Amino acid sequence: MTMARLLRALSFIAAFMLAGTAAQAHPHVWITAKSELIYAPDGTITGVRHAWTFDDMFSTYALQGIETKTKGVYTREELKPLAQTNVESLKEYAFFTFAKVGPKGSQKKEKFNEPVDYYLDYKDSTLTLHFTLPFKTPFKADTLAVEVFDPSYFIDFQLSEKDPVKLVGAPANCKLAVERPTDGSAQAQTMNEQSFLSGDNSNYGAMFANKINVSCAP
């Protein structure tokens, strides 16, 4: 994954060129994330709903060139084309969301369909991207692990301090546990850009994955 390709995926390449971040070390973007695991009435897990809030500098540059009726106010309708471009492009990066079912050692990866119910909103000088990832095949599971991270560590994901993860409609016997990563930015800034693109560091961000674990005792 190259930096330029990721910038295109987020449709903000011009913003980063203006910000001059190309010469800086990883990470380049900071996202505060909230997630919901969605269950059907029969206990089937149907999808993951995300709300990703970008850092204020990234948000400021991302909004350049977007026409609005009121200066400094961005409606969902005005942000709709940008939201669509973002969610369509995220597919190339597996939506930075990785789901596995089953006990450790015999886990099965679950795939997602295209995002639905997506939109961007703007509040307190930041952009938040909302979208839902439906599982290709909804399933029941005693154990589920969902990780949110960027393998290249171009983006630093951190779960929100308040209500980071919720189970929506889950059976009463399901328990939630959240594992927050350590801050890897200091170490990453000692490494050059090329080191993230190949070799052992191409999956560097996995060390700083946000881990959501659900256990539903039979």
The beta strands (E) that lie in 81-139 are given as: 97-101, 108-110, 116-123, 126-139
- Contact predicate 31/57, CB 8 Å: no
Residue 26 has pLDDT above 80, yes or no: no
Nearest to 152 by CA among 51, 19, 27: 27
Between the alpha carbon of residue 127 and those of residues 68, 76, 80, the distances in Å are 15, 11, 12
Question: CA geometry: angle at 202 spanning 200 and 203, to 5°?
Answer: 90
pTM above 0.85, yes or no: no
91-146: pLDDT as tens digits = 888 999 999 998 877 899 999 999 999 999 999 999 999 999 999 999 999 999 99
Sign of the dihedral defined by the CA atoms of residues 127, 51, 151, 177, in that order: positive
| Cβ contact 148:141 at 8 Å | no
pLDDT tens column, 71-95:
889 999 999 988 988 888 888 889 9
- Cα separation, 123 vs 63, in Å, equals 12
What burial class does residue 69 get, using C-beta atoms within 10 Å of its C-beta: 0-12 exposed, 13-18 middle, 19+ buried? exposed
* Residue showing tokens 């990866």: 109
Q: What is the pLDDT of residues 152-163, one digit of tens each?
A: 888 889 999 999
